[in-house]
Amino acid sequence: MLAGALFVVCEAEITTAGGRDARSLGAIAATATLTVPLVWRRRAPLAATCCVMAGVVALAAAAPGFNSLSSPLFVLFIPPYSVAAHEGRRRSLAGLAVCLAGAGMVNLLHPEGLTSVVFSCGMVGASWAVGRALRSRRRLAGELRVTAKRLVAEEDVRERLAVADERTRITRELNAVVARSISQMVVQSDAARQLLHVDRDRADAAMAALEDAGRDTLAEMRRILGVLRRIDDTPVLVPQPGVGQIPELIEHACEGGRRVTLRVQGDPGPLPASVDISIYRILDDALATETGGAIEIVLTFGEDDIALGVEADGAAGLWPTPAMRERAGLCDGTLDVRPGPGARAQLRVWMPRLFDGALA
């Protein structure tokens, strides 16, 4: 549409101003060469620029009164803008050179002094500069759009990773709960079977402990999987097990008649959540897997780490359990089991109190 409109305007002005000579085939062809290539000013800017400037020079040579025409001069400023806005740096500079050469040849064919040369070359340069500025702005806007899309995609990936990490934590927690509870059930059921024909009261106590262990397991599984509950479910708010619940854990372990002693050394202070629950779970697992007898627990709080020592009869060959190893590895801790006299075993766990990573 732009090319067609400019062709009609230029031809009408040339015909009106040039009289009979402007109606010649050469003037019409020059006008067409001047305007028609503007159709391809976006798809082939440099080629269109060369054609338009050639048409301007041809029209200046064919039309004696070229200096009195205004529409061809207006067309003269479109190619520099187009080649600057739609070509790369080298090709746009080549297009600028073509436009300046064309403007210079027009001034040679119709000299009007230095002022005309400066004006035409200045307008060509200004048009080219505007095109480069708009091209840079478009490129910047495009890069910003790409960056915005990338940020949105990265945010989505981070959300997915956060969900995956949380599900991994839930899986580990569930694994520890199931492993600990099943081990405790096996021990209690074996004790109940051995005491069934010897001491019915102790057998009943072992069965009651087995029942409590099953219920506790279901309650903890329900709590852990609560993140997957429906929206209309009412959440069950319970405190997260940790070092602060160790006295209750030992009190519960003493209900079966076992002798459990606890010594605490150092200042507990604040602990990372992962270390807090892992110490509790390891001790809970140790109490569930030993077969009876006296149990000695030493909990030492240092400035940089926390140490858990458990010594019990009948634990040789049972420690460490997979759940213990998993908990220690999760918190970058170390775990060591040393055999004692007879079937006695000593469990030692060290964990750092401070983290630099995501476990802090």
The whole-number average pLDDT for the span 204-213 is 77
- Lookup result for tokens 């460490």: 320
Instruction: Write b or e for each residue in 1-16: b if 16 or more Cβ atoms lie within 10 A of its Cβ, otherwise e.
Output: eebeebbebbbebbee
Residue 154 has pLDDT above 80, yes or no: yes
Rounded mean pLDDT, 338-355: 83
What pLDDT is recorded for position 292?
A: 63
Kindly state the helix (H) or strand (E) to which residue 329 belongs, with its residue range.
helix 322-330
The pLDDT confidence band at residue 299, using thresholds 50, 70 and 90, is very high
pLDDT at 6 over 80: no
Encode pLDDT of 156-177 as tens digits.
888 788 777 766 776 777 777 6
Which pLDDT belongs to residue 262? 92
Q: What percent of the chain has pLDDT over 70?
A: 79
Mean pLDDT of 58-73: 64
pTM for this predicted structure: 0.40
Q: Angle at Cα 248 formed by Cα 312 and Cα 203, nearest 5°?
A: 60
Cβ atoms of 175 and 326 closer than 8 Å:
yes
Specify the higher pLDDT residue, 352 or 103: 352
- Of the segments 107-116, 127-136, 228-237, 310-319, which one has the largest average pLDDT value? 127-136
Cα separation, 288 vs 122, in Å, equals 91
In this predicted structure, what is the pLDDT of residue 202? Answer: 78
- How many other CB atoms sit within 10 Å of the CB of residue 134? 14
Phi, psi of 317 (to 5 degrees): 90, -15
Span 56-79, mean pLDDT?
69
| Cα-based torsion angle of the residue sequence 126, 128, 133, 139 in order, rounded to the nearest 10 degrees | 170
| Contact status, residue 301 vs residue 269, Cβ threshold 8 Å | yes
SS3 236: coil
73-112: pLDDT as tens digits:
677 778 888 888 888 888 888 888 888 888 788 777 777 7
Average pLDDT over residues 180-187: 74
Query: What pLDDT sits at residue 52?
Result: 81
What is the chain's Cα-based Rg?
Answer: 44
Over the chain, what is the mean pLDDT? 78
